[in-house]
Structure 1
Amino acid sequence: EYLQYFLRFSRMLSYEEIEMLKEDETAIKERPPTTVQFKEQIDVYDALYKTIHSFDSERIISGWLRIDVRPLRQAVLNIICKWGSMFKQHLFEHVISSLSELDSFVAEAIAALQVELSEDDYEGLLSVMGYLVKIRDRQTATDGMFQPIKEIMELLKEYGVEFSEEIYIQLQELPDKWNQCKKVAIATKQAVGPLQTLQIAAIKRRIGLFDVRQAMHRDAFKKLPFFHWGCQNVYALFDHQHQELCNFEDELKKLAE
């Protein structure tokens, strides 16, 4: 719980602040911690560990009662070590997951953007446009992620935490891969421009046809026999009309997408 609050607000919250959050999640502005703030937290526990570790193993009370404090000291040291390691482990996993996610996304996006599209490949065009939007939305964050990751890796190295050679290679290669992904996105955006124009025109025609069919259905609906006394098979007619309206709604959702 402490780590979750630290990741959101760079500090532990007071009881009053926690109660405020329960009533309103936006009551306190989120401020994700910096690498420096992570270092400060780790150093607090490292310093506390050294202090507790320096305590004498035994205590003499009143000149005759000898108390062995080693079990208690070791238990406290284990707790301190666990808390300090919690921050290191989070940073370690953050580096690996961030690089792995970006590597997978870049490979997936480039492959999707390089698929050849035909004029009537509506689903294929939607897929390409989806990746173009994803690249655009994450560009600022991804452009600025590499230096902080380097700083985190250097920080963890100070505490004896090492990454595998594959991670260092991944960090070295990913900026170029990401730049290549952006170049492919720019080229693809230009290439699909004419296809977008064709699909927009086709969608407008489909919308026009949909409006005509909807108007015809409305006029026919007003003349259905279940509006009159003596109508037979009312529920069957209801079910049929319900299904037709559902079909119209499904088609409208597809057009909206």
Structure 2
Amino acid sequence: MNFILISSIHIQHFCCLYFLFQIDRYEALYTELEAIETTVLFDKWFRLDVRPFKHSLLENTKNLTELDKFIKEAEVGVAQDLGNGDYDILVSIMGHLVGVRERIHSTDAMFEPLKATIALVKQYGDDLPETMHLKLQELPEQWESLKKQCDLIRQHVAPLKASEVSAIRKKCIKFETRQAVYREKFKKYSFFNFSCELPYWRLERVNMRLQRLEEEMHQLQDSAVLFEVVIPEFKYMKACRKELRMLKQLWDHICLVRACVDYWKTTPWREVDVENMDIECKKFAKDIRSLDKEMRSWDAYINLDATVKNMLTSLRAVAELQNPSLRERHWGQLLIATKSESSTKSFVTLTLCSACRFEVQRTWSHLESIFIGSDDIRRQLPEDSARFDQIDIDFKELVAEMVANPHVLKATNRTGLFPRLEALQAELTLCEKTLAEYLETKRLAFPRHLTKLFDSIAGLKFAEEESGEGTAAVGMKAKDGEYVEFSNITNCVGPNIEGVVVLQVEKWLMSVLQVMRDTVRARMTDAVVAYEDRPRDQWIGDYPAQVTPSCNMCYGLYTHTHTHTHIWINI
């Protein structure tokens, strides 16, 4: 204890010496600044008044006026008469009590350091006015008196405070119910749909309603702070506000894309600039992808994304049809085929339908093997599998109708064809989104690919079975042809649920990873033991390439450690 006290004294003495050194430095700087002239003349015509600069540099006096003012206001505030139980007076008193409570720690700790600083500065003849010394003596006593007064007032208002706390909690419960009801109503508003009319007007109406609810929420939060009540965070209000901002951002993109597409539709065929349109569409697609991921389940986002994708596909078709190889006779044949004076409308319809069909066919062919050929996907995503089954039926019917009518213009200008293709694309987009979310959960469960488990691995070797489809992995193969047999056999199947084997890939990949680790660990142990018993060339050939470098390092470390230990012992 004495040692600690002596050390503390030495530290305080060192701090004082340090401050004395710093004060001497600033005294010298003060003298230098005093020598600065009041005005400086530049180039015989520009006069600069430096007195404000000197004043700001020399001004280094702290005052206690703010604390004195706070104490006087608080003393008056907490002494208000509550005889009639006036709510406004109660709120005012609680506000002053909270203000005192918030600055207790900082104010309690400010007096002693301030006295020490004033005493230190006084040694250099820079004393404060007598009124400041008087305040420094009176304010600590006034502050302690105010704290005692606040404690008494806190006890005096306790019954009224308890009543108000109960009322605040009831208001919070009621508001919690209201915000939950409003949240459900908010989710059903039409501005989540791409077909919404007057979206900005609807967003503004909802914003005004939300502002009123938020104002009520803030009043509850302020009352809770005053009366020291713990209340919920009102997450539904925050979620509505966040989604409203995202909706405004999304509809800005929708209106921009619609305006551009509508303008492009009025462009004459010969003036269509496919390259610039394609650049703009790719920019739209990039901006859409950068939007918050929470929007991707909204109908407005899905259809906006589909609109841009369809436009990109259409522009590729237009670029092909603008090929300079097309001659006048080709356009003449088109006029004869359509039996019209102008083929523009039929040609545009042909372009749009062809582009949309190619996009639908591409997405369908990508998803067909997943949703129809994978039992695991059908079991894990039953709703989307049923959706894709219907898409598969509708798409095959549509293709059969087109095959039955080989005339391209007649096939693509059928009534209702383009809306059918757009509906199929929207449904396929939903399937793609759900599949992506499902695969993301798989990646989180096992965030590595088979080829990334170990360097240079090419595949697994399975034990042969009578059925011809082996599921028991017995070893692993490298890209350079090396084969390493597993220390244990592992089955590459998922768990058995109610007699059905579920092919959950993340489950059996974890077991493959574990058996790989066990194999390398076991082979490394054997290699270290056999290191000195076999010739080096034979030893390298007997063990996997991944094991031998590690064993060499282990044995090298052992040899160096043994040599250094022997040297130190001899010294």
TM-score (norm 2): 0.28
Is 1:146 matched with 2:111?
yes
Deviation at residue 160 of structure 1 after TM alignment: 1.5
TM-fit CA distance, 1:193: 1.4
Of 87, 103, 121, which residue of structure 2 is paired with 1:156?
121
Is 1:42 aligned to residue 26 of structure 2?
no
Letter in 2 for 1:248: L
CA contact (8 A) 2:111 2:140 kept: yes
Alpha-carbon contact 2:30-2:58 (below 8 Å) kept: no
1:171-190 matches, cutoff 5 A = 171-190=136-155
- Measure the CA separation in 2 of the matches of 1:198 and 1:126: 13
Provide the C-alpha distance between the structure 1 equivalents of 2:34 and 2:156, rounded to a whole number of angstroms: 58
**Structure having the larger proportion of residues in helix:** 1
Give 2:168's match in structure 1, choosing from 196, 203, 211.
203
Residue 181 of structure 1, CA deviation: 0.8
For 2:19, the aligned partner's letter is F
Q: Residue 147 of structure 1 aligns to which amino acid in structure 2?
A: E
CA contact (8 A) 2:78 2:150 kept: yes
Shift in Å, 1:219: 6.3
Structure 2 residue matching 1:173: 3-state secondary structure: helix
Structure 2 contact 97–150 (Cα < 8 Å) conserved: yes
Code of the aligned partner of 1:178: W
Tell me which structure has the larger Cα radius of gyration. 2
Cα deviation code 1:38-89 (max 9, x no counterpart): 322123466xx6xxxxxxxxxxxxxxxxxxxxxxxxx99625989xx99985
Q: CA deviation at 1:227?
A: 9.0
The answer to whether residue 93 in structure 2 is matched with residue 128 in structure 1 is yes
The yes-or-no answer on 1:112 pairing with 2:77 is yes
Distance change in 2, residues 1:87/1:223 (3 Å): closer
Q: 2:167 matched to 1:167? A: no
Gaps (5+ residues) in structure 2?
A: 1-13, 37-54, 223-571
The answer to whether residue 216 in structure 2 is matched with residue 251 in structure 1 is yes
Deviations 1:80-99 (A, max 9, x none): 989xx999853xx12xx2x2
Moved more, 184-193 or 154-163: 154-163
Query: Which of the pair has the greater relative contact order for Cα pairs under 8 Å at 6+ separation?
Result: 1
Instruction: Say whether the 8 Å CA contact 1:203–1:255 is kept in structure 2.
Output: yes
User: How far did 1:150 drift?
Assistant: 2.5
Provide the residue aligned with 1:3 in structure 2: none
Instruction: Assess, with a 3 A threshold, how the Cα gap between structure 1 residues 182 and 241 changes in structure 2: closer, same or farther.
Output: same
Q: Distance in 2 between matches of 1:140 and 1:218?
A: 42
TM-aligned CA distance change 1:213 to 1:136, over 3 Å? closer
Alpha-carbon distance between aligned partners in 1 of 2:140 and 2:115, rounded to the nearest angstrom: 12
TM-score where L is the length of structure 1? 0.57
CA distance in 2, matches of 1:143, 1:226: 56
Cα distance in 2 for partners of 1:188, 1:158 equals 43
Give the letter aligned to residue 38 of structure 1: F
Which residue identity lines up with residue 168 of structure 2 in the other structure?
A: I
Return the match for 1:78 from 15, 22, 32: 32
Question: SS in structure 1 opposite 2:80?
Answer: coil
Q: Which residue among 205, 221, 225 is the counterpart of 1:240?
A: 205
Structure 1 residues 116 and 231: CA distance shift in structure 2, 3 A: same
Q: How does 1:66-105 map to 2 (within 5 A)?
A: 78-79=32-33, 89-90=59-60, 93-94=61-62, 97=63, 99-105=64-70
- Residue 217 of structure 1, CA deviation: 4.4
What's the Cα RMSD here?
4.1
